[in-house]
Amino acid sequence: MTSKALQSFLEANISDLKERGLYSEIDPVQGANGPVINIDGKELVNLSSNNYLGLATDERLKEVAKEAVDSHGVGAGAVRTINGTMDLHLELERKLAEFKGTEAVISYQSGFNCNMAAISAVMDKHDAILSDELNHASIIDGSRLSRAKIIRFNHSDMDDLRAKAKEAIESGAYNKVMVITDGVFSMDGDIAKLPEIVEIAEEFDLITYVDDAHGSGVLGKGAGTVKHFGLQEKIDFQMGTLSKAIGVIGGYVAGKAELIDWLKVRSRPFLFSTAVSPADAVASTKAVDLLMASTVLNEKLWENSNYLKDGLQKLGFDIGNSETPITPCILGDEKDTQAFSKRLYEEGIYAKSIVFPTVPRGTGRVRNMPTAAHTKEMLDDALAAYEKIGKELGLI
């Protein structure tokens, strides 16, 4: 029998979300998540995936994944610390360390797991974490799990960061202080001010942590935000995901060998959760190989990104301060934003609305993610739909 208290809670709160335009529908994709997708029998230009380089459907990755299933099975069979570590996992970590320019790498089941694992393995209730106010939910949750004092600083405000770092250090209340930031902020597409953050970190002896989920494969000719600024020797933790530009699933932390050794014996998702499948490990390795061998996909991504941005701006849409392929069209009102996204769907364009609590109230946006796999014709179709709906709703 369902609890009456639970039933009452769910009915009231789901109804409230729907009334305020904050309830998100899930659209199952039939087939592969490529530049064009099929939802409920309708073919749509896909501008909502994180598959930046189109690698999720790349034949070269599919081939090695199939071979790994034949040679190593469909699952790792155990956690990494028992006998779930296969030669394929070690090769992936070796390749990632080379790619990121660090001494070592530890891989996890997802990027979210990385932040839950790495932050809490190093920080505790005697420490403090300086966290950008727009950091990803996984950073927030990982910081909470550590039980460290969380001190938010204004988004990319270096004066505020410096003042709060100074106060935290001079208070003498904490054993360690970490500054943590996204490399690329996923809702606005702006880039963290890493050179200034490093300067402040060196002044106050802060531990530095960069979540580069949306920077890896995109910035630094693919090697990420830290490489973009040439700061590989200055950042203690480089977190990355294998689920976005790499096109597969998983995450990793790159850094000094001693740090990685510590995470292997103290980070709980590594200790208590089964390793990623052999197919995922080898497909990720292949993707990294491709990025290290050529910048063609990265260049195509930026070409398509600039084309879409230019087109939207010429139409009069507000794309905010994006410096990366993440291209928000900021509309403001939550209900208007969801209505715009639904009209795009009707016109054959899949671009998901993003509203509170993912972004602050009143900053609803349709978030566009051009990839290397899109053709100019697909992007032209998207721009034509934006123009039609913008005029129809009196937005341009």
Q: Which residues are catalytic?
A: 186, 214, 244
Asked if residue 197 lies in contact with residue 206, where contact means CB atoms within 8 angstroms, the answer is no
355: left (phi over 0), alpha (psi -120 to 50) or beta: beta
Instruction: Count CA within 13 A, CB hemisphere, residue 3.
Output: 4
Contacts from 305-308 at CB under 8 Å and sequence distance 24+?
A: 305/370, 307/370, 307/376, 307/379, 308/368, 308/370, 308/379, 308/382, 308/383
d(CA 115, CA 301): 27
Rounded to 5 degrees, what angle do the CA atoms 189, 190, 191 make? 125
d(CA 321, CA 191): 9
What is the β-pairing status of strands 349-350 and 128-132? unpaired
Q: How many helices (H) and strands (E) does the chain have?
A: 14, 13
Asked if residue 355 lies in contact with residue 366, where contact means CB atoms within 8 angstroms, the answer is no
The tokens describing 206, both together, are 């802060």
To the nearest 10 degrees (0 to 180), the angle between helices 257-266 and 111-122 is 100
**At which residue do the structure tokens 């294998």 appear?**
242
Asked if residue 391 lies in contact with residue 71, where contact means CB atoms within 8 angstroms, the answer is no
d(CA 306, CA 299): 11
